[in-house]
Homo-oligomer: A and B are copies of this chain.
């Protein structure tokens, strides 16, 4: 493998979920593309980086001052769903059932990775908590760090007199009890609802 190819394989390997074998395949694909295609591919990367900014309100990705959700007047202003990242925001949007606001933290409190509350968009969240906000739904991932971040946020938000909730734990739809892990099963029993 030539040095320039080697550098390209290393660059691709540094991306998430790309192992050395996949990176090699991607690198060869680049070499096999036409020069125009490669230039346009590189332009698309640089262009995305340059045009995507954070929404001034929810801190989600956008290309204008406000994102399409924050600038949409038909969405409820009284509920904010707090997510770790834009991927989570889009997963919730894809349910097509939630019609409120979001706030993107851009990470999660994780002492192991040296990420404290000050590195997250928490003060931007607190700045939004005016009279109009009635509920903050914390939708961090169901991990230890997600749980700790939810606890931390709820302690900050409750003094504002705002309801703070957390996504429900339980069995995923379509799962079988037999294969559910015992922590999830316990949470499903604890969180049982009357029928």
Chain A residues proximal to chain B, CB less than 8 Å:
1-5, 7-8, 11, 15-18, 22, 24-31, 33, 35, 38-52, 61-63, 85-87, 90
Q: What is the minimal beta-carbon distance from A21 to any residue of chain B, in angstroms? A: 10
Question: For the complex formed by this chain, how many copies does it contain in all?
Answer: 2
Question: Are A87 and B7 in contact, CB atoms less than 8 angstroms apart?
Answer: no
Knowing that A4-B63, A17-B25 touch, tell me 13 more A-B residue pairs with CB under 8 angstroms.
A1-B61, A2-B51, A4-B48, A4-B51, A5-B48, A7-B48, A8-B47, A16-B25, A16-B26, A16-B29, A30-B45, A39-B46, A42-B42
Which residue of chain B is the closest to A51 with respect to CB atoms? Answer: B4
Q: Which of B7, B17, B51 contacts A47 (CB 8 A)?
A: B7
* In the complex, chain B residues whose CB is within 8 Å of the CB of A24: 87
Of B25, B49, B61, which is within 8 A of A33 by CB? B49
| Contact across chains for B15 and A45 when beta carbons are under 8 A apart | no
Q: 24 A-B contacts, Cβ less than 8 Å apart?
A: A2-B51, A2-B63, A3-B63, A4-B47, A4-B48, A4-B51, A4-B52, A5-B48, A7-B44, A7-B47, A8-B44, A11-B40, A11-B45, A15-B26, A25-B87, A28-B87, A30-B48, A31-B48, A31-B49, A33-B49, A35-B50, A39-B46, A41-B45, A42-B46
B48–A8 CB distance below 8 A: yes
Determine the chain B residues whose CB is within 8 A of the CB of A28 once the complex forms: 85-87
A16 contacts across to B, CB distance below 8 A: 25-26, 29
In Å, the complex CA distance between A18 and B17 comes to 10
Q: How far is the CA of A2 from the CA of B8 in the complex (A)?
A: 27
